[in-house]
Structure 1
Amino acid sequence: MSEPAKVTRSALIVWGVAVGAYMLTVFIRSSLSVAGLLAADRFGITAAQLSFFTTLQLLVYAAMQVPAGLAIDRFGPRRALIAGITVLTLAQVGFALALTYPAAIIARVFIGGGDAVIFTSVLRLVSSWFPMMRIPLFTQFTGQLGQIGAMAATVPMTLLLRDVGWTATFATPAALGVVFVLLLLVLVRDTPTRRTQPGPPISRRRVVSTIVEVWARSGTKMGFWVHFSTPFSVMVFALLWGYPFLVQGQATDPIAAGVLLLLATFVSMLTAPLIGQFVAYRPFHRSTLVLASLAVQMVVWAAVLLWPGPAPLWLLVVLAAVIGVGGPVSMIGFDYARTSNPPAQLGGANGIVNQGGFIATVLVVSAVGVILDRLTPPGQPYGREAFGWAMSAQFLLWTIGIVQVARYRVRTRREFHDLDADGYERFRHHDLSVDWNLSVRPPIDRRDD
């Protein structure tokens, strides 16, 4: 399949529908964030049982990434999107009608499973429909537009819960799911020339060989560790521990704490296009941007945690901005996957990369909870010192991530130089005529940033 020559109207329509489906997915994923107290009352559960909703959903999502990627490679992104939105819609109806905790848990499991195929399917469509120089930009747009779904799951959900109650509120996005299934059926095609472009049949032997081949490529490993190390801080902040850390650990006004959470999201959305353009025009320095982001996150978090007493508001603003940038920087991991794997294996590669950030998030969310419980007497609010030790758990994962990113940065650059020394020097000096996309020429596992 030849590379598209320009951004067409058809490409924007396909991408717009797919991104709309992704925004709905993020909305459904995040819809429990403002309904925690109502959920505890509806199902008669404890705070620990309530938190299990989020942890289980993330675990299912992470565990399904590689199978979901392989399914996209086998059946095509259009079919995967339709199946994923269908599962999400049915699961959301089940959650809206659930009256018992086990029934609600089963619904959240299927929400995590349906969610697992959506994002990587949209990325696959981006790779098929847009010119190479525009793929990093539209990849960033895809990730950040999803944040609109997360923001819609705050104030609008609160108003719906107040005005129409539990069942109608959670059934509303399910109705939108039906609309998007119809739009995907009518308007989305796998490629500009084919409505559906399936891959070869999948056998157990082929699944194993595909995973081995994809993981053997240095670019895939680089992408995994980029996504492992850059976004977990903002995800932990936004999903669970940011608000308690600010209010109880930093004595921040609750309204100011909410504004800081929104600030992280807005900074992420504002910087995403800039990072996308940087990657498109300075691909040799993708890893430099990743390492710089990690270093700044570590320095600012250290300043907040080591500040004598609660950190000043200006420093917390800087913290929210810095971790917000980590989200779009993490998308660089998918650029490594794209430029290191052939299109037929890109779903599996994206799935492996996407696992990184969610594995790290689950590890940090769990570690913070365990440390807080160990350092806080039963029935007492979490204090600044307890939060200081708990949030310090992030530094272990950052250290691992930096070591691995630096390791594969050296390896991939050395492989590129050994293969084509002249091309490497031209690429290093930003000559974009050099064929740096490894997926279009053998050996696909020998050249990358």
Structure 2
Amino acid sequence: MSFHRSRPREPGRDSARAYLVLGIGTFAYFSAVAQRTSFGVASVDAAERFGAAASVLSLFSLMQVLVYAALQVPVGVLVDRYGSRVLVAAGAALMVVGQVLLAAADTVLEGVTARVLVGAGDAATFVSVMRLIPAWFSPLRVPMLTQFLGVVGNLGQLVSVVPFAGALERAGWSPSLLSLAGLAALAAVLAAAVLRDAPPGTDVRRREPGLRRTGRVVRESLAEPGTRLGFWVHFTTQFAGNTFVLMWGYPYLEYAQGLPDRAVSVVMTSFVLTNVAVGLVLGRLTARRPGRRVRLALTVTGVIFAAWGVLLLWPGAAPAPVVLVAVCTIAISMPASLIAFDVARSFNPPHRSGTATGIVNVGGFTATVLAVLLTGLVLDALHAAGFRPDRYDPDAFRLAVAAQYLVAAAGAAGVLATARRVRHRHGPGRV
């Protein structure tokens, strides 16, 4: 059965109020992305501040992403029950606390604890804002608006790349992090004041009490092969860009490619702008060709790792234009991962949308955890073995990044296996 595209328009849908709600929700996600990606920009400063090795430094992003992934299903259940407004405002408030604590942190434990709070707040945001789109807009608008949310929200990376990086260099650790806390505080206030879960007279929340019903919804979502396919599509498509922007992108560009700070900022800004351009195209393709979503996701993944292959096999540092093109190709992973949510939404009814979205969102962040950890472990193992005197030697980075191909291969196998099950149950032309 499909739950996707054929309902008549309801009062309040596609209205000016709907776009205001979407705008505030998108700003909250924009802020969350800025908080999420800020540590990648600050990773070199963090290594000096905390005296951390590569594997220890990766704990900051690793724990943040682990918490994010672990909370996706609970957040999906909570948003189905309590609504988006409560979850978005609470998530932004948690991120305020996390960034304030990180600004004052002097030890690895304090820093990791702070990033865990940021990850918990971030976890509450995307799933909750995603739930607003089918509640406020007609089904045919949903794929494009989903891409709009992802594209504009991911522009929050620009806050990390430009003003935050500049503030970090000029004002230092604590003032720059407190400025991000201020952005999250604004998102919390706007979400509490303006967001509404659905148009007037409509209640999309499910208030039935008890764990039994919650467990049933989770089981039903997991039993649907379309949800599992969404998980694996997200797993496979998102982690390359996520790993790059959350942890290893800046160190790789600085140490492995030898780019100066200004060039790194240009490359990372281009990464974000690529999300915008490609996201709009992918949204249109997803809406018009739903039967080709799996092929599209796998094609994008292949292109991304071909780009990585060019950088890894290039003798010495690659020319700056080659690095720029390759990084912009890696950036495609972020908008491509949104295909996964359209897949899951096609096969789940509205009352399960938050839970199914949460399950899908676990995929990419699980893969990110694996990729971040693998990269750090390989760098440390090579350094300990005396492979090169410098931990972040370009040749060491080649081997460390190459380990991510294992994650991509596992994801592609998961996509192919679950796509067969979806086609068997729902028909060959559905994905």
> TM-score scaled by structure 2?
0.88
- For 1:292, give the aligned amino acid: T
- For 2:423, give the aligned amino acid: R
* Residue number in structure 1 paired with 2:3: none
Q: Quick check: 1:383 aligned with 2:403?
A: no
* Residue number in structure 1 paired with 2:415: 405
> Could you tell me whether the CA contact under 8 Å between 1:75 and 1:197 is conserved in 2?
no
Change (3 A) 1:50 1:413: closer
Greater radius of gyration (CA): 1
- For 2:360, give the aligned amino acid: V
By how many angstroms is 1:51 displaced?
Answer: 3.4
Q: For 2:185 and 2:256, locate their aligned partners in 1 and report how far apart those are by CA, in whole Å.
A: 43
Q: How does 1:91-102 map to 2 (within 5 A)?
A: 91-98=98-105, 100-102=107-109
* Residue number in structure 2 paired with 1:105: 112
> Could you tell me whether the CA contact under 8 Å between 1:248 and 1:381 is conserved in 2?
no
The correspondence for 1:324, drawn from 325, 331, 348, is 331
Q: For 2:232 and 2:403, locate their aligned partners in 1 and report how far apart those are by CA, in whole Å.
A: 17
* Residue number in structure 2 paired with 1:395: 405
Change (3 A) 1:195 1:320: same
The correspondence for 1:342, drawn from 335, 349, 359, is 349
Alignment deviations for residues 104-133 of structure 1 (CA, whole Å, 9 cap, x no partner): 433322221111110010100011111211
Give the 3-state SS of the residue equivalent to 2:323 in structure 1. Answer: helix
Percent identity reads: 37
* Residue number in structure 2 paired with 1:227: 234
* Residue number in structure 2 paired with 1:76: 83
Q: For 2:240 and 2:151, locate their aligned partners in 1 and report how far apart those are by CA, in whole Å.
A: 16
> Could you tell me whether the CA contact under 8 Å between 2:58 and 2:372 is conserved in 1?
no
Q: Quick check: 1:259 aligned with 2:269?
A: no
> Could you tell me whether the CA contact under 8 Å between 1:224 and 1:354 is conserved in 2?
yes
Q: For 1:312 and 1:160, locate their aligned partners in 2 and report how far apart those are by CA, in whole Å.
A: 29
The correspondence for 2:93, drawn from 86, 95, 108, is 86
By how many angstroms is 1:140 displaced?
Answer: 1.0
By how many angstroms is 1:219 displaced?
Answer: 0.8
Q: For 1:2 and 1:87, locate their aligned partners in 2 and report how far apart those are by CA, in whole Å.
A: 38
* Residue number in structure 2 paired with 1:216: 223
Q: For 1:32 and 1:309, locate their aligned partners in 2 and report how far apart those are by CA, in whole Å.
A: 28
- For 1:371, give the aligned amino acid: V
- For 1:404, give the aligned amino acid: G
Query: What is the number of residues matched between the two proteins?
Result: 421
Alignment deviations for residues 130-167 of structure 1 (CA, whole Å, 9 cap, x no partner): 12111111111111212222211233124434555544
Change (3 A) 1:191 1:358: same
> Could you tell me whether the CA contact under 8 Å between 1:19 and 1:142 is conserved in 2?
yes
Alignment deviations for residues 184-239 of structure 1 (CA, whole Å, 9 cap, x no partner): 23321111124864313353333332222101111101100110001211122222
Alignment deviations for residues 18-38 of structure 1 (CA, whole Å, 9 cap, x no partner): 111111112222333444455
- For 1:139, give the aligned amino acid: T
Q: Quick check: 1:282 aligned with 2:292?
A: no
Change (3 A) 1:225 1:47: closer
* Residue number in structure 2 paired with 1:445: none
> TM-score scaled by structure 1?
0.85
By how many angstroms is 1:60 displaced?
Answer: 0.9
Q: For 1:319 and 1:162, locate their aligned partners in 2 and report how far apart those are by CA, in whole Å.
A: 27
> Could you tell me whether the CA contact under 8 Å between 1:230 and 1:290 is conserved in 2?
yes
- For 2:364, give the aligned amino acid: G
> Could you tell me whether the CA contact under 8 Å between 1:231 and 1:327 is conserved in 2?
yes
Change (3 A) 1:323 1:167: closer
Q: Quick check: 1:28 aligned with 2:38?
A: no
- For 2:14, give the aligned amino acid: V
> Could you tell me whether the CA contact under 8 Å between 1:33 and 1:154 is conserved in 2?
no
By how many angstroms is 1:358 displaced?
Answer: 0.8
- For 1:315, give the aligned amino acid: V
Q: For 2:250 and 2:169, locate their aligned partners in 1 and report how far apart those are by CA, in whole Å.
A: 22
By how many angstroms is 1:356 displaced?
Answer: 0.7
Give the 3-state SS of the residue equivalent to 1:154 in structure 2. Answer: helix
Change (3 A) 1:151 1:173: same
> Could you tell me whether the CA contact under 8 Å between 2:143 and 2:283 is conserved in 1?
yes
The correspondence for 1:119, drawn from 98, 111, 126, is 126
> Could you tell me whether the CA contact under 8 Å between 1:241 and 1:365 is conserved in 2?
yes
Give the 3-state SS of the residue equivalent to 2:208 in structure 1. Answer: coil
> Could you tell me whether the CA contact under 8 Å between 1:231 and 1:323 is conserved in 2?
no
Q: For 1:251 and 1:162, locate their aligned partners in 2 and report how far apart those are by CA, in whole Å.
A: 19
Change (3 A) 1:400 1:140: same
* Residue number in structure 2 paired with 1:433: none
- Which is worse superposed, 286-295 or 259-268? 259-268
Q: Quick check: 1:145 aligned with 2:156?
A: no
- For 1:414, give the aligned amino acid: H
> Could you tell me whether the CA contact under 8 Å between 1:78 and 1:196 is conserved in 2?
no
For structure 2, the 5+ residue unaligned runs are 1-6
- For 2:398, give the aligned amino acid: G
Q: For 1:388 and 1:40, locate their aligned partners in 2 and report how far apart those are by CA, in whole Å.
A: 21
The correspondence for 2:24, drawn from 17, 38, 63, is 17
By how many angstroms is 1:45 displaced?
Answer: 5.6
Q: For 2:162 and 2:320, locate their aligned partners in 1 and report how far apart those are by CA, in whole Å.
A: 24
> Could you tell me whether the CA contact under 8 Å between 1:223 and 1:334 is conserved in 2?
yes
- Which is worse superposed, 215-224 or 257-266? 257-266
